[in-house]
Amino acid sequence: MKIVAIVGSIRKDSYNLKLAKHIKERYAEKFDLEILDLAPLPMYNQDIELEAPEEVLNFKAKVKAADAVLWVTPEYNSTIPGVLGNAIDWMSRVDKVMNGKPSMIIGSSMGILGSVKAQMHLRDILFASGLNSPLLPGNEVYIGAVHEKFNEQGRFIHEDTIGFLDTVIANFENWMKQILK
């Protein structure tokens, strides 16, 4: 199974990026996870959507080729970060690459609520007609105080959350098998 991770933070030391890397390594035998970089995407502009820049076409082609998408998002100002909204705008127009593509959401923040508001908004967006992505039901993953859950080498070390993620990923895998049948 090929999955792409869309991470809503482009900073190099992003905890959400590190979480995506943790998932890529820990479940390498279950699926091939490619972490996509949102930094090269220009700002969405309807004037150029029919002749979109190469970076956009490459990004959308990778999403289209994947069996599923893993969203990994922080929360910015009680909603999704702009880079994530920008990627979603590109994906929602012309070739609607998320259409029918299953996905699941996880997210983290330094606050105690662990990106809950951003994830609520993202969930709504996924059901909008431009995306139309079936979302793994239940299995909500809010990782709060994320900066306390990594060691100095940048490894995710919070055993309770690691165990919870094992369960959620197993549920995702089973759900995906039903959908891809």
In whole angstroms, give the CA distance from residue 33 to residue 156.
17
Minimum Å gap between C-beta 158 and ligand FNR is 15
Establish if 16 lies at the interface with ligand FNR (CB under 6 A): yes
Q: Which is nearer to ligand FNR, 11 or 177 (CB)?
A: 11
* Residue found by looking up tokens 């549920």 in the block: 171
Helix axes 15-26, 159-180, angle to 10 degrees: 60
Positions 61 through 90 that interact with ligand FNR (CB under 6 A): 74-78
Minimum Å gap between C-beta 153 and ligand FNR is 16
Q: Which is nearer to ligand FNR, 132 or 150 (CB)?
A: 150
Minimum Å gap between C-beta 119 and ligand FNR is 11
Question: Going edge to edge, which strands form the sheet with 103-108?
Answer: 32-36, 2-7, 68-73, 103-108, 141-143
In whole angstroms, give the CA distance from residue 50 to residue 48.
6
DSSP state of 69: E
Q: Which is nearer to ligand FNR, 38 or 176 (CB)?
A: 38
Positions 102 through 121 that interact with ligand FNR (CB under 6 A): 109-111, 113
In whole angstroms, give the CA distance from residue 122 to residue 87.
12
Q: Which is nearer to ligand FNR, 78 or 167 (CB)?
A: 78
Out of 3, 4, 6, 15, name the contact with ligand FNR by CB under 6 A.
15
Q: How many residues bind ligand FNR (CB under 6 A)?
A: 14
Q: What is the C-alpha end-to-end distance of the chain, expressed in Å?
A: 12
Establish if 11 lies at the interface with ligand FNR (CB under 6 A): yes
Do the beta carbons of residue 16 and residue 72 sit within 8 Å? yes
C-alpha to C-alpha distances, 58 to 44, 47, 52, 97, 167, nearest whole angstrom:
15, 19, 10, 12, 32
- Determine phi and psi for 104, rounding to 5 degrees: -140, 155
Q: Which is nearer to ligand FNR, 14 or 92 (CB)?
A: 14
Establish if 175 lies at the interface with ligand FNR (CB under 6 A): no
Residues that bind ligand FNR (CB under 6 A): 9, 11, 14-16, 74-78, 109-111, 113
